[in-house]
Amino acid sequence: MKRKLNHKTVLLFSVLFVMSFIWMIGGLKPATLEAAPPRSVVPPPPPAVYTLSELEQKAVLLLNAARKAEGLEPLKVNLLLSKLAADYALDMNKRKFFAHVDPDGKDPFDRMAAIGIDYPNAGENIALSPDVETAHKMLMDSPLHRENILQPKYTEIGIGVRPDSRGGVYLVQEFIGP
């Protein structure tokens, strides 16, 4: 007895034959899974595109002179940290507040972490004063602020000076160290 091939069976065998032929001549390649390059868990900080103003340079010179007078190493300027400090000084002036914790509830360590800065030793000084020299003197005359300036554990400084709408300056010092 002769068996009749139905249309579906013929189609199936035809497809299998064509696929086998293509595979044999190398037209089909097995799928491979290549390992993706490892991704960084913490995004790199943005490039520090910041230049210290003349007033900020003056503030760094005053601070490092005070450290030198006490036999301490000068602090290295960290431009990313300086941009953070300058932005915070500007924020205090724009939103009319003066505090280490901003109106959104963020403290200096929150602000540092937001830009990828995380150090075991960190601190902040802020001043609102007629000028940079007076701000420096006020900070040095305050025991807690002086302690930050003369802290041997700190190795880097971010400095921000922005004008106050009443004619003075906001000065922000951000300190970090290993």
The reported pTM is 0.73
Q: 4 pLDDT band (50/70/90 cuts)?
A: low
Q: Scanning the structure block, which residue is given the tokens 């601190």? A: 123
pLDDT at 49: 72
CA 23, chain centre distance (Å) = 52
Residues 6+ apart with CB under 8 A from 60: 52, 75, 77, 157, 159
Q: Which residue has the higher pLDDT, 17 or 156?
A: 156
CB–CB of 92/170 below 8 Å? yes
Q: What is the mean pLDDT of residues 125-143?
A: 98
Q: Which residue has the higher pLDDT, 165 or 8?
A: 165
**Domain 54-177 listed as CATH 3.40.50.620:** no
- Quote the longest CA-to-CA distance of the chain: 113
H or E element, residue 128: strand 121-129
Structure confidence by residue, pLDDT tens digits, 18-72: 444 444 444 433 333 344 344 444 555 555 578 999 999 999 999 999 999 999 9
- Domain ranges within the chain, ordered by starting residue: 54-177
Tokens, residue 164: 């106050």
